[in-house]
């Protein structure tokens, strides 16, 4: 097979595929403009920016365990890595006491029972001690793509750390804990969601992109992902491989799932904040970090909403434009999203 990435699809000016590519570029641009993708990762890293590498690694495990900042911060205040690693019975009792207080994003379904969460926390805490001594972590030189493969295999030993959260964990460690690693590809095996996003951009390859994990199909997925990555500068965007695969997934959820929109992840953290405050007591660390890191127009706690604005998830599919709180006034537009009011 050729290793050269294919040319972009040849389409007419009025071809719907051209519009899909433009919508994807717009989605990427405006999602990044309000702190995405994964703005909660940025908040968690910011809150722990002055802590030790060990503390950052524990924070990362709690973040990807619950996959929201308010719960992770509250648990981190009450549960040490040493307790989780050395005393599984005590850990299980602790989890049982606090279970009603925990908030989980839906992506963490694999560990949403008391026993499964306990096992995840215990195995992750033990893995931490081992990981900090591993060559992939300690090396300051060498190919970061090769180091990534070593790190990937390493973290797969932890229960409940599948493809999706392993990507999040390693990206957190790269960004905030100094791990010398870099995602080299799409992680196409099992990556059905970003592959479905690619199929929107490369419909002639949809059968392979949405098919099984055969070598031919995985090659096609990585090849088209590379072509998409190389095309982004034509739209004024520079994306790394990690960001591309997240945005492909989110764009699919926007156009087809009618759920995602630039800023949804910001909105949803407010729901977890409310639950954490109810059970653990008020904590402004997340809100203060958000105010420092992100445009205030996209923050409900400042601009006047308290949760996910579900109606915005339908905008692209129904009205053929990408929503952005930086372009449009939500309160003036929400009654007629077909004709949004510009800021």
SS3 content of the chain, % helix, strand, coil (to 5): 65, 0, 35
Average pLDDT taken over every residue of the chain: 93
> Among residues 272, 282, 276, which one has the least CA distance to residue 306?
272
Phi, psi of 179, rounded to the nearest 5 degrees: -65, 130
Secondary structure of 246-272 as H, E, C letters: HHHHHHHHHHCCCCCCCCHHHHHHHHH
pLDDT digits (tens, 9 = 90+) for 210-257: 999 999 999 999 999 999 999 999 999 999 999 999 999 999 999 999
Paired residues of 147 in beta bridges: none
Per DSSP (E only), the strands in 180-334 are none
pTM: 0.93
Secondary structure in 3-state letters for 74-136: HHHHHCCHHHHHHCHHHHHHHHHHHHHHCCCCHHHHHHCCHHHHHHHHHHHHHHHHHHCCCHH
Cross-strand bridge partners of residue 335: none
Which one, of 240, 247, 277, lies nearest residue 71 by Cα? Answer: 277
pLDDT tens-digit map of 260-318: 999 999 999 999 999 999 999 999 999 999 999 999 999 999 999 999 999 999 999 99
**Rounded-to-10 torsion of CA 186, 189, 192, 196:** 50
What is the domain partition of the chain in residue ranges?
Answer: 16-36+190-254, 39-176
Q: How confident is the model at residue 13 (pLDDT cuts 50, 70, 90)?
A: low
Mean pLDDT for 124-140 is 83
Cβ atoms of residues 70 and 110 within 8 Å: no
Please determine, for residue 1, whether its predicted confidence score (pLDDT) is greater than 50. no
pLDDT above 70: percentage of residues in the chain: 95
């Amino acid at each position: 097979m050729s290793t050269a990435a294919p040319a972009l699809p040849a389409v007419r000016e009025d071809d719907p595929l051209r519009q899909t590519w433009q919508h994807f570029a717009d989605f990427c641009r405006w999602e990044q403009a309000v702190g995405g993708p994964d703005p909660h990762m940025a908040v968690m890293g910011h809150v722990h920016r002055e802590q030790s590498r060990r503390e950052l690694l524990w924070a990362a495990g709690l973040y990807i365990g619950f996959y929201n900042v308010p719960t992770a911060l509250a648990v981190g205040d009450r549960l040490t890595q040493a307790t989780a690693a050395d005393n599984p019975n005590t850990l299980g009792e602790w989890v049982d006491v606090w279970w009603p207080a925990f908030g989980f994003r839906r992506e963490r379904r694999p560990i949403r029972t008391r026993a499964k969460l306990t096992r995840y926390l215990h195995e992750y805490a033990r893995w931490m001690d081992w990981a900090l001594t591993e060559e992939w972590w300690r090396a300051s030189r060498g190919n970061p793509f090769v180091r990534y493969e070593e790190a990937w295999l390493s973290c797969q030993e932890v229960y409940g750390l599948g493809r999706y959260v392993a990507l999040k964990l390693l990206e957190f460690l790269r960004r905030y804990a100094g791990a010398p690693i870099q995602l080299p590809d799409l992680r196409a095996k099992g990556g059905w969601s970003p592959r479905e996003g690619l199929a929107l951009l490369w419909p002639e390859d949809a059968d392979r992109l949405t098919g099984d994990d055969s070598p031919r199909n995985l090659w096609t997925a990585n090849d088209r992902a590379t072509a998409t990555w190389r095309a982004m500068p034509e739209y004024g965007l520079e994306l790394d491989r990690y960001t591309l695969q997240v945005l492909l997934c989110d764009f699919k959820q926007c156009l087809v799932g009618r759920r995602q929109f630039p800023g949804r992840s910001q909105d949803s953290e407010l729901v977890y904040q409310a639950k954490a405050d109810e059970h653990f007591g008020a904590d402004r660390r997340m809100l203060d970090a958000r105010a420092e890191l992100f445009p205030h127009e996209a923050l409900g706690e400042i601009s006047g909403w308290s949760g996910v604005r579900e109606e915005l998830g339908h905008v692209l599919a129904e009205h053929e434009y990408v929503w952005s709180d930086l372009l449009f006034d939500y309160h003036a537009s929400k009654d007629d999203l077909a004709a949004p009011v510009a800021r």
